[in-house]
Structure 1
C-alpha cells in the first residue's frame, strides 16, 4: 500500500496544480474561425478549434471578412464573426470566481446579413448584459458622446461566476439575428473590487454595494492628464485607458502635471486597480493665469438611467511633500461626495498611488453623470487646488439586468429600430413629412398670392429687409410719446410692431462717416460699436460682424431683451437697421463710457467714493429690475464693470444683454445651460453645476463691488500668486477686517471707514460659495441705498460739506432725493420714458437731453 501511496499522492498534487492552472487561465476566442491569430503577443483561438475548452450550442453561420475597419492591428480580429439566427451560447468550463468578460463587435455586411439589421440580447449566467442591441447604432452613439473614433466596439463586464460554468447566450429578436466577433474571459484578482464604497447620498464611508449579487459594466476608464494607454501597457487585465480630454467640460480649468519617479502602491488592492503609468500624470486646478482657483475641474458623462454607479477615482500626490497643502472637495452629480480631501494624507505620502470608490444612483429622469473637483475655500491650505490621476465609472446591475432600454428615445422602441417594425415607422414618418410639406406649401402659396395682390393695390415698396432673424422674432414694442407713433418718411420708417425706429443703411453710414475706424468706441464677439451722430444727437451704433455666429445669437438675444424691458438703469435701444444683410442696433450714447475705464487702465480722473457708490446703486437697480420686471425674470449672465456704462451725469446703466437668459419657471429652481460669462466674475456654483440662477448675477456683482473698491483687474496674472484673483485676495483681507489695506490708493483716504466696512460685508455675502447663502439683488440694493442715505445724512449734518469727496459733479441720487422733496419725480420719469422709447425728434429740448 505504501508503494502505491506515493504515486497516488503525486497524482493528486498534479491534478490540484492543473486545477490551479485552470483557475488563472484566460480565454481569447476568435469567433467564426477554426484557426488562431496572434495580436500584440496574445493568441486568439478559433471558436471551433479543437481543444480550446469552449463549446458552442449552435454553430450558426461563420462569416469571413465581415468587418470593414481601418485600424491595422485589431483588423484581423474583426474579419470573422459568428452569426446566429436562433438562441445560441458559448459555454466556458472555468473555476468559480470573478471574471472580466469582453465582447467584441464590428459593423459588417456578409451575404444576406447586414449588421444594421441585427437586434439581439446578450445574457451571461442569467445576467442580461444588453437588450435589443444594435452594434452600428451603439458605435454611432459612442462617437456622439465622446468623439470616439473607432469602427468597432468592445463591451466590458465583470461577472462573478459561482459555479464551474460561464454561459454567454446570444438571443436574436424575431426576424433578426445576433453575432459576435470575439470574446475574452480573463480571471480577476480578488483585490480589484472590495465590497464597500463611500455613499454619495448618505455620506457613509463604508457602504456595501452587495457585489456578490451583482454584475458590473465598465462605462468609462480614463487616464487623466495623459494620453490613452493601450491594453498591452496594462499587462494584468489588458484594460484600455482613454484620454480624459473629450469628457472634460473646460480643458482650461486645469493644467497637466507629471512625475514618473519613485511611484509605488499604497497596498496590494491598489496594485490591481491601475498600472503605475496612470498615476504618473494628473490634472490640477493650479493654472491661475487661465482660470481662478475657485472653479472646479469638471467631467461630464452620458450614462444609462435608473442604475447605481461605482465611481472610482485614482490619486497620487505628485508635487507636495506635506499634508494640508492640497485640500479640495469632490462633487458627484452636484452632491458633495467628500470634503477637506487631502491626497497626501489619504495616500500616506508623496508618490503613493491609491484609489477611492464612491457609490451613487442616477435616477430615471437623468442621463448624465457629473464629476467635479474643486478647491475647499474654507480649508487653511497654502495652495487651494484639486488633483486627479485617473477615473473609472462602473454600472452595477439591478435585478439581474445591466441593459439600457431607452437611451435615446423616451418611449416605445428602444435602441435601434429593427426589422419590419422599424420599416413601418420610417414609412409612417415619411408619409407624415410629405403631408406636412404639402400643407406648408399651400399656406405659403396663399400668403404669396395675398402679398402680390396687396402690392399691386398699394404700389411698389422699398426692398425687403435683409436681416431675417429680426423678422422671425416678431419683436413688438410700445411707446408713451404720441410723436413716436408717426411715420417717419425722410430717412427711415417707424416700425409698428417693434420698439424704436427703423433706420436706413444710408443714415447709419452717414452717422458713422461710413463706419470710420476712428469712431470705434468698443468691440466684442458681435462686432464693433461706433460713436455716431443722427440729427445732431450722439448715439452708439453696434454693427454685427456677419462672419460671427456668436454675434448673431447675441444680437437676437439683445433685441429680444430690450424689446420687452425698459428701465432708467438699462441702456436703451433707440432703433435698428436691417438692410443688405446688415445687423445694426442704435443705442443711447453713454458719454462717460464704462465704469471700468474710470477705475483703472486710463487717464480719466478717479471717481469719488460717492460716485462709486452711486454707480453700484445704479447697476444694482438695473439688475434688480431684470430679475423682477418680467414674469420669469431675466438673468444677465455677464455682469462686469465693462458692461456698466455711465452717462453724462454719471448715472450707471447695465448694458450688453447678448448672454442673458430667461429665469427659471415657477416650478423650477434654476436654468440648466452651458457656462458663459467672463472669468473672474463667474459664479463657481454655476460653473461646476451648469445651473444658472439669479444668484449667479449676485455673485458677479459682488466681484464688481470689490473691483470698485480696489480699482484693479479681477484677474491679473502679473501679480504674485496669492493676488492673481481679486475675489479671493480681497475676501482674505475682508475676513481679517482689514479691507482698507487694499483700497484704491487714488481715494487717498477720502471715504468713510464705516461705509467701506459695510461694502465689504455686502460683497462677502454676495460671494458665498453656494447661491442659497447669497442675498437677493433687491436686498443688496437696499443695503447700498441705506449706505448712500447715511452718507447724505452725514453730509447734511456737516452743512453739506463732504470731507471725503473732491468732485464737483452732483450725485445723481442726491439730485433724485431733492426732486422727490420738490415734487418733480413725475417729470423725471416722463423724461426717462421718452429717452427709453427712443424718440429721435430733432427738437432742441431732446438734443439738450442727450
Structure 2
C-alpha cells in the first residue's frame, strides 16, 4: 500500500519535471545566436554563436553582395562577447535576416560594437531596423548612444567606458517567417555584430496592469512589441546572462540611477527564496530577489524622504514599469508598509510585500502602466514609508526594477537627441559660411551699441551721484516708522560692489561705511546677535538713537551672497506689519550691508526652548502664530505672482518689544508660479525638519510648501522642542511624525509643553492641532492656504479668550458666593463660634 501511494504521487511529479525540462530544452534548442559577418562559429558566454556565412541555422541573409564582412584583430575593452565583437556585417544598402519556423513571442537582442574598418568612419553611421514591419530604431547612431550612456554614468559619479551596446526587444511573431531588416540612412551605412533570438515559452506579461493614478487596464503587451529600456538588480551586483539561463538577461546595478546613492542600504539574505507563483519563474531569476535596497538610517533621517531613481526615456510612449519584491527581513505582516510613486504620482499606498507575496522570502512582482507625454524625457521611481499606515517599520524595500517601452502604432523607434541635432545642421557649407559672416557683423554692431550704452549710463550715474551727495538723504514715504527711499543702483562713494545682479532699485536710507562702523563699534563681537550663511548680524544704534539690526555679508560665502541678493530684491517690494522691514543699506568698499528694524525679543525659538527666557503663555503663542501667518499670507497673495518664503521656521520668526511676530530672512525666497501654473520647478532648498516632502520628491515648489513648514512650526510651538532631536528614542526623533501620531489619536494634549499644563482652553488646542494636521498633509493640493490657516488660528484664539473670560467669571462668582455665605453665617452665629466660623470661611482660604 505504501509503495502504491509513493508511485501515485511520484509519477505525476516526474512527468511534471520532464515536461518542464522538455519545455526549457525546447526553448534553448530553438534559440538562435548569430555571429554576424563571420564564416566561423564562436563560443561566448557559454553559448554557441553561428557565423552568418555558415550553412548552419534555420535562417538566411539577403543582399550579401551589397554588404561587407568586417573584422578587427584588436578590440579595446573587456566583454564576454569580445569574440563576437571582432566581426561585424556592414551594410550600405538594405540587409535582411529571415528566420523560418519562428512563431510566438521572442526576445530579440541586437549587439553593436563599433570598430574602424577601411575608409568607413563608424561615427558617421546611421541606420534603421524593423522586425516584420515593427520599426525598432530609426536614424540610429551607435557611437552617439554609447557616448551618451557613458556620459550619464559619469554624471552620476560612475566611471564607465563601455564600448558596446545591446538593444533588447520582445516581439510577437504571427507569420511563418520572421524578417529583421536593416536600412542605412541616405548616404550613410550601418552595422550589426550579433543577433539573439530567444523564444518565450510562457507569458512574461499579464493581461491586467495597474495604470498609475487610475484603475487596472487590460493590455496585450506581447502583441504590441516592447523595448527593454532598463533592467536593474536593486541593491545587488550585476547578474550576468549565465545566471539567468532561461532568457540570458543582463541585470545592471542600480546605484548609478539613484538620485541620492546613500539613501538606500543594500541588504542580502541567503535564505531559500521561492516564487509566490509557479508562473513567475521566468519573470526574473532568484538572485534578483536575494538582494534588496532599504532606506538608510530611518531612525535619524526624516522618514518622509524616499529612495529615488531617475531614468532617461523617450517621450511620447507608454511605459510598463515592473518592480520586483521579496521580503527578506520581517516575518509577519504590517512590519514594513510603504508607498510607491511613479513620476511624482502615487501608484500604490500601504504596500506590504509580506502580504502581497504571501510570506517572507517569497518572490513577487507588480506592473504599472505610465503614459509619458511628448514633453517629458525622464521617469522617476520613488519608494517611501507610509507613516499613516501604522506599520511597525517606517521603511521601504525594492529588489529589482525593469522599464519597458511599448510600441505606438507599430513603432518603437525614437529619433534620438543626436540625430535631431544633426538634422538641424543640414545646411550646406555656403549657408554656414553666410551665417558666420552675418554673426560676425551682428557681433560688431552689438558691441558698438553696448559701448555706447555703457558710456551713456556712466554719465547719467555720475550726474545722479553728484546730486545725491549734494542733497543728502531724501525722505520718502513712511510705513510703520520706516522711511522708504529709492536710489539708482551702483557703487556709492567710489566703492565697488561685489554683487553683479542686484535690483535696479533699493528701498531705504543709504548708509556710509563710516556710519555702519560707528553704529556697531567697528563690528564689535560683543554686539553680535546672530550669524548665518550670509555672515553676521549686529545690534547697532544709528545717529537718531534708533536701535537697528545690521546684517553684514561675508564676501567669502558665495551661497550667502546669492541669498543676500534675493533678500534685497524681496525687501525692496515688500512692506507689511508682520514682515521685518529694511531701514537701509550700505554698498561701499566691497561691503554689502543691510540695516533692519531691531527686534528686541529675538527669535520665537528662543522663547520656546534652549534659553532661560520666561515661557510664553498659550495666548502669546497663538498671537505669535497669527502674526507669522499674516505675514506669510501677505507674501503669498500680496504680489502679482506671490512670493514663496521657502525657509519658514521658528528662528526666522522674530518678536519685537511687544511680542509682535514678523517673518524674516528672505534669502531663499522665490517668486511664485504664473497664473496658468501650479508650481515653480527649482532645486530643493530649506531647513531639515521643516522641508515639504512633496517638494523634496518632485522639486516642484508652491505656496503649499510654506504651509507644510508652518505646520511644523505650529507643532514646535505647542510642544516646545526641536523638530529633529537624534538623542531621543527612535519614534520621537522627528517632531512632525511623533506629534502627528498623537494628534491623529486626539491626544496632542499629552505631549504639550509642561509650562502650558492647565493654562489653555482644550477646545482651542483641539482647533490648533487640527489645522496643524491639515498643514502636514502629504499632498500639497489638500493642504489649506495660509488664509485658511490664519482663520483657524484666529478662531482658536477666540475660543481661548472666551474660556479665559468664563473662568474669570466663575472665579468671581465663587468669590461672591463665598462672601455671601460668610455674611449669613455672621448674622446667624454669636460670639466666638461666629468668629471662628468666619475665619474658616474667608475667600483667602479658598483662593487656590
TM-score class, shorter-chain normalisation, is: 0.7 to 0.9
Question: Any residues of structure 2 matched to 1:430-829 within 5 Å, and which?
Answer: 430=436, 433-450=439-456, 484=485, 497-503=505-511, 520-532=528-540, 534-535=542-543, 537-546=546-555, 548-579=557-588, 582-792=591-801
Partner residue in 1 for 2:374:
364
Change (3 A) 1:589 1:212: same
Moved more, 339-348 or 162-171: 162-171
Cα distance in 2 for residues equivalent to 1:98 and 1:155:
17
Change (3 A) 1:424 1:337: farther
Change (3 A) 1:498 1:167: same
**Residue 563 of structure 1: how far off its partner (Å):** 2.0
Aligned partners of 2:341 and 2:383 also within 8 Å: yes
1:84 matched to 2:59? The reply is no
336, 339, 358: which one aligns with 1:326: 336
190, 194, 207: which one aligns with 1:182: 194
Partner residue in 1 for 2:245:
235
Partner residue in 2 for 1:173:
185
- Paired residue secondary structure (1:498): strand
Deviation digits for residues 652-693 of structure 1 (CA, Å, limit 9, x no counterpart): 221222332222221222233343323322223333343332
Partner residue in 2 for 1:300:
310
- Paired residue secondary structure (2:420): coil
Cα distance in 2 for residues equivalent to 1:521 and 1:33:
79
Change (3 A) 1:675 1:492: closer
Moved more, 287-296 or 697-706: 287-296
Structure 1, unaligned runs of 5 or more = 1-16, 463-476, 804-850
Moved more, 305-314 or 711-720: 711-720
**Residue 352 of structure 1: how far off its partner (Å):** 0.7
**Residue 627 of structure 1: how far off its partner (Å):** 0.5
Partner residue in 2 for 1:414:
420
126, 129, 139: which one aligns with 1:119: 126
Deviation digits for residues 353-392 of structure 1 (CA, Å, limit 9, x no counterpart): 1211122222333333232333334424223433211111
Cα distance in 1 for residues equivalent to 2:486 and 2:425:
63
Cα distance in 1 for residues equivalent to 2:227 and 2:400:
18
Moved more, 17-26 or 174-183: 17-26
Q: From the CA coordinates, give the structure whose radius of gyration is larger.
A: 2
Change (3 A) 1:801 1:210: same
CA root-mean-square deviation:
3.8
Moved more, 629-638 or 518-527: 518-527
387, 390, 393: which one aligns with 1:383: 393
**Residue 275 of structure 1: how far off its partner (Å):** 2.4
Cα distance in 1 for residues equivalent to 2:533 and 2:240:
41
1:56 matched to 2:56? The reply is no
Aligned partners of 2:69 and 2:89 also within 8 Å: yes
Question: Any residues of structure 2 matched to 1:99-110 within 5 Å, and which?
Answer: 99-110=106-117
Cα distance in 1 for residues equivalent to 2:584 and 2:340:
49
Cα distance in 2 for residues equivalent to 1:109 and 1:525:
54
Partner residue in 2 for 1:9:
none
Deviation digits for residues 51-105 of structure 1 (CA, Å, limit 9, x no counterpart): 3555332342344449975446555544443322111123334532322222233
Question: Any residues of structure 2 matched to 1:280-359 within 5 Å, and which?
Answer: 280-285=290-295, 287-359=297-369
Change (3 A) 1:214 1:454: closer
Partner residue in 1 for 2:5:
none
Cα distance in 2 for residues equivalent to 1:121 and 1:19:
33
Aligned partners of 2:45 and 2:81 also within 8 Å: no
TM-score normalised by length of structure 1: 0.81
Cα distance in 1 for residues equivalent to 2:457 and 2:560:
32
Cα distance in 2 for residues equivalent to 1:614 and 1:627:
20
20, 29, 38: which one aligns with 1:24: 29
Aligned partners of 1:145 and 1:302 also within 8 Å: no
Deviation digits for residues 612-632 of structure 1 (CA, Å, limit 9, x no counterpart): 112211110111011101111
Moved more, 306-315 or 771-780: 771-780
Change (3 A) 1:241 1:563: farther
Change (3 A) 1:659 1:42: farther
257, 262, 265: which one aligns with 1:247: 257
Change (3 A) 1:457 1:744: closer
Cα distance in 1 for residues equivalent to 2:241 and 2:430:
43
Deviation digits for residues 200-221 of structure 1 (CA, Å, limit 9, x no counterpart): 35312xx332234211101111
**Residue 456 of structure 1: how far off its partner (Å):** 9.6
**Residue 393 of structure 1: how far off its partner (Å):** 0.7
Deviation digits for residues 11-37 of structure 1 (CA, Å, limit 9, x no counterpart): xxxxxx999758634333343444455
220, 224, 242: which one aligns with 1:210: 220
- Paired residue secondary structure (1:240): coil
Deviation digits for residues 560-602 of structure 1 (CA, Å, limit 9, x no counterpart): 2222222221223344445565554443333333212221223
Deviation digits for residues 622-651 of structure 1 (CA, Å, limit 9, x no counterpart): 110111011111122221112212233322
Change (3 A) 1:383 1:486: closer
Paired residue total:
767
Cα distance in 2 for residues equivalent to 1:35 and 1:506:
88
Change (3 A) 1:724 1:168: same
**Residue 344 of structure 1: how far off its partner (Å):** 0.6
Cα distance in 1 for residues equivalent to 2:318 and 2:602:
55
**Residue 330 of structure 1: how far off its partner (Å):** 2.4
98, 103, 108: which one aligns with 1:96: 103
Deviation digits for residues 788-818 of structure 1 (CA, Å, limit 9, x no counterpart): 3444455567779999xxxxxxxxxxxxxxx
Moved more, 439-448 or 313-322: 439-448
Deviation digits for residues 518-549 of structure 1 (CA, Å, limit 9, x no counterpart): 65544444444445555465444444454544
Aligned partners of 1:200 and 1:358 also within 8 Å: yes
Change (3 A) 1:34 1:434: farther
Moved more, 683-692 or 83-92: 683-692
Partner residue in 2 for 1:200:
212
Structure 2, unaligned runs of 5 or more = 1-21, 469-475, 498-502, 813-848
- Paired residue secondary structure (1:658): coil
TM-score normalised by length of structure 2: 0.81
**Residue 397 of structure 1: how far off its partner (Å):** 0.9
Aligned partners of 2:695 and 2:705 also within 8 Å: yes
- Paired residue secondary structure (1:611): helix
Change (3 A) 1:507 1:128: farther
1:128 matched to 2:138? The reply is no
Aligned partners of 2:107 and 2:170 also within 8 Å: yes
Cα distance in 1 for residues equivalent to 2:619 and 2:458:
62
Cα distance in 2 for residues equivalent to 1:19 and 1:485:
82
Change (3 A) 1:565 1:245: farther
Aligned partners of 1:478 and 1:499 also within 8 Å: no
**Residue 223 of structure 1: how far off its partner (Å):** 2.0
